[in-house]
Amino acid sequence: MPVSKKEASPCPIDAMLSVIDGRWKGTILWRLSNGPMRTSELRRSIPEMTERMLIRHLQELVQDGILTRRQESSVPPCVRYSISKYGWTLVPVLEVICGWGRNHLRRTGAACRVVSG
């Protein structure tokens, strides 16, 4: 059932990584940092990702308190995800990670696209 969760290590590094670990979580958070989005919008904005994986990751991020899920009871259903107050505390950390990663990519001679714009 779980997408990335190992076995709840007491090491703070592992704890942090288990929250953002998962093939697409970084990308999802990056997209949502521009504002709330519907499930289908997110899906279309990351075409390489399947719907199944999107939903599994979203559910974990909601469980971890990083995202907020808001559902309008209409048909067809409309669900909007946004970064929670707690989730915003994660964003500066992602920025630090991203900064190092960008430098590392330069060092290893790779291109730098996708998430970082």
Which residues lie near DNA (CB under 7 A)? 2-7, 21-24, 38-40, 48-53, 55-56, 58-59, 69, 71, 75-79
CB of 65 to DNA, least distance (A): 16
The residue with tokens 């288990």 is 18
Q: By rule CB under 8 A, what string of x and - marks binding of each residue 35-64 to a second copy?
A: ------------------------------
Q: What is the distance in angstroms between the CA of the first residue and the CA of the last residue of the chain?
A: 32
Q: Which of 1, 2, 33, 11 is nearest to 98 (CA)?
A: 33
In the complex, least distance from residue 59 CB atom to a second copy, rounded to whole angstroms? 17
- How far CA 95 is from CA of 40, 41, 75, 91, in Å, comes to 26, 23, 38, 6
Shortest distance, CB of residue 41 to DNA, whole angstroms? 7
Using the minimum distance from each CB to DNA, give the nearer residue, 11 or 92: 11
The closest of 66, 38, 70, 65 to 54, measured between CA atoms, is: 38
10 touching a second copy, by CB under 8 A: yes
